[in-house]
Amino acid sequence: MVKPVYKFLIIIAVVCLSVFFTILALSVVSQENFDEAVEAVVFSEADFPLEVDLQKTVFSVGDRFSCNATITNRCGRDVFVVSDGHEPGWFFYGINESRDYDGSYLLWDGRTLKVNDTMLTVVDFTITQPPGTYVFALVYKLEVEGVVLRDKLETIIEVKG
């Protein structure tokens, strides 16, 4: 026959083990839920649209080409963004030329980009190219909390004599 003291100790041991395994099970379930929530945060280029306020697409030699190019944080929360410090970048080149926008970028400039805040590049130059058809291209490569995003926006520009 088991003494009452030992019965009491066995009951306490069983209760303690039950509590331990319950806490362990709950921590595993909550960690899985946390992991799923972290994995659910996926950014895309649509969260950081590339926009330009270009008023016209036909210019004459000697005209000023001027516009603002922006990347806006539309993902719904403040995020940490790393870029090359010159985003968005831009190119102006002949229609028959080719450009590699995916060249190597050194991402070094990190900052917090608040909801609806923008990264701005002011483009302003005098058109000296001969008459013809050109491409004005805006590009970016950003790393948003570990996710690398790339986007480009191309506009055809006519230069008249």
pLDDT tens-digit series, residues 37-84:
555 568 999 999 999 999 999 999 999 999 999 999 999 999 999 887
In Å, how far are 11, 12, 73, 144, 159 from 20, measured between CA atoms?
14, 12, 45, 40, 76
The C-alpha angle 59, 62, 66, rounded to 5 degrees, equals 60
Give Cβ neighbours of residue 87 (< 8 Å, ≥ 6 apart). 71, 119, 121, 140, 141, 142
Q: What is the pLDDT of residue 119?
A: 92
Query: CA-CA distance, 65 to 56, in Å (whole number)?
Result: 9
The end-to-end CA distance of the chain, in Å, is: 111
pLDDT digits 0-9 by tens, 99-138: 766 555 566 678 899 999 999 999 999 999 999 999 999 9
Average pLDDT of span 29-38: 55
Q: What is the CATH number of domain 45-160?
A: 2.60.40.3880
